[in-house]
Structure 1
Amino acid sequence: MTWRATHFGLPFRMTVAITAYDAPHRFVDEQVRGPFGHWHHEHLFEPLVAGGTLMSDVISFRSPLGRLGRAVDAAVLARYLQRLVEQRNAWLRTTLEG
């Protein structure tokens, strides 16, 4: 699956592959082509006692370019990606519950 998006005013494309799948508990997507030196995204699903499902994301990533990439990860990208995933999850919740 290939995603296209604009971040920081720049166009990006990232192709991921599903590398693990254990329905209905979890699946993992990993970058096979794109902007990151490393991208691993685990989606976890847990049933709630009161009904519904709790979805959690566990993401590990590393930008390319060695020290410069690590500095960008620490200074900007970690917080940016956290907000991006939180916004995506809020959209998913609204869409799926609506």
Structure 2
Amino acid sequence: MTSKISEMVVPTFFVDETQKGAFKSLRHEHLFEMRGKGTLMTDVLRFEAPLGVLGWFAERVILKCYMRKFLEHRNKQLKILAEQPEHRLHG
């Protein structure tokens, strides 16, 4: 899979979009919002599977749940990494 950052406004959001890969299209928005002493990150993921009606069916039956679990797992791992002392911003 090849993706490209297509939009960015530091420090509030960026968008990456798949250029080549298994999906007909995939757009992933990463939104960041300051919350007290922390940051709330929200993912917005839009994708379309190939293969017409078969892909449409797979999106609703398999991919939607799979992608949600994938993002939740990835975000938990990212939170663990970001909260390590050597990754914190001091000041």
TM-score by length of 2: 0.90
Which aligned runs of 4 or more in structure 1 are off by greater than 4 angstroms?
Answer: none
Tell me which protein shows more helix as a share of its residues: 2
In the alignment, which of 46, 50, 53 is matched to residue 33 of structure 2? 46
Q: Deviations over 1:30-75 (max 9, x none)?
A: 0100000010000000000x21100000010010000000000000
Tell me which protein shows more strand as a share of its residues: 1
Higher Rg: 2
> 1:95: Cα distance to partner?
1.1
Q: Does 1:96 align with 2:82?
A: yes
> 1:87: Cα distance to partner?
0.2
- For structure 1, the 5+ residue unaligned runs are 1-13
Match of 1:28 in 2: 15
Q: Percent identity?
A: 42
TM-score by length of 1: 0.84
Match of 2:88 in 1: none
Match of 2:59 in 1: 73
